[in-house]
Amino acid sequence: MNMPNQIAIVTGVSHKHGIGAATCLELAKAGVDLFFTYWQSDSGWPETFQREIQELGVKCAHAEIDLSEPEAYLQVIQGAENALGVPSILVNNAAYSTRDGYEKLQVAEMDAHYAVNIRAAMMLSAAFAKRFKKAGYHAGSIINLTSGQAQGPMVEELAYVATKGAISAFTLSLSAELGSLGITVNAVNPGPTNTGWMSEELKQALLPKFILGRIGEAKDAARLIAFLASKEAAWITGQVINSEGGFLRQ
């Protein structure tokens, strides 16, 4: 894929093993300039990653932004425009997730999940589309990250699955609104992905469930996200794509 002269926003790029970082690398290899956001990353890592991206021959800027704040989406949009210009690609990758279950479920945790997973993604998408329209662009994309809540139960993750399910619903309706602008809107469910959080015990338990014989990696999701941002995927919109390596939930 070749996507020069485009600018992308990628949220939730907080460490080198994540889907956000892998997505930045895939887009940079295609010639896309990048503005990435993070929250509470290791000291110095964002600057190191920025240099890695720039070595691929594209422009890159970043900002530490707490997406749980109500006006954070404006910081993201304005930061990207000030550093690089008006973006044509938005990847809503940032997520908040804790374990709960019905006995532990608290209002504060529900609100925390909503703030990052839904409110930030929705408001950022709306602001992105407004800027896109004002700039007179004709082809763009929004890619949201969802989860496997529609594929089977995800116990003790009630707040998380509720907000991720809302992302899937939001994706379909927003795609209908933005189609006339030339913006495609899709969501990716990457399935269980080893982004550094899996213990060896968990890996061994999950491995037999992947019919392709290995656990999902961040680059698997990143390649799909980059494809959905490309002109080759211009006819795909309003879809939730379950890219799980054939993960078996039974």
Return the closest-CA partner of residue 167 out of 149, 155, 182.
Answer: 149
When the pLDDT of each residue in the chain is averaged and rounded to a whole number, the result is 95
DSSP E strands, the chain = 7-10, 33-38, 60-64, 89-92, 140-145, 183-189, 193-194, 216-217, 240-242
Q: Are the C-beta atoms of 212 and 246 separated by less than 8 Å?
A: yes
Q: How many domains does the chain have?
A: 1
The predicted pLDDT at position 166 comes to 96
Share of the chain above pLDDT 90, in %: 81
Q: Are the C-beta atoms of 79 and 63 separated by less than 8 Å?
A: yes
Structure tokens at 245: 């390596």
188 falls within a domain: yes
What is the pTM (predicted TM-score) of this model? 0.95
Which structural domain range is residue 16 located in? 7-241
Q: What is the CATH number of the domain that holds 137?
A: 3.40.50.720
248 falls within a domain: no
Could you report the per-residue pLDDT of 172-228, keeping only the tens digit for each? 999 999 999 999 999 999 988 998 888 899 889 999 999 999 999 999 999 999 999
Catalytic residue among 38, 73, 96, 160: 160
223 falls within a domain: yes
Return the closest-CA partner of residue 94 out of 74, 54, 124.
Answer: 124
249 falls within a domain: no
Catalytic: 102? no
Could you report the per-residue pLDDT of 79-116, keeping only the tens digit for each? 999 999 999 999 999 999 998 889 999 999 999 999 99
Looking at residue 35, its amino acid is: F
The predicted pLDDT at position 13 comes to 97
Could you report the per-residue pLDDT of 137-177, keeping only the tens digit for each? 999 999 999 987 777 777 888 999 999 999 999 999 999 99
247 falls within a domain: no
**Nearest-angstrom CA–CA distance, 129 and 108:** 30
Mean pLDDT of 48-67: 98
pLDDT band of residue 131 (cuts 50, 70, 90) is very high
The predicted pLDDT at position 196 comes to 82
SS3 at position 56: coil
**Nearest-angstrom CA–CA distance, 87 and 77:** 8
55 falls within a domain: yes
The predicted pLDDT at position 167 comes to 96
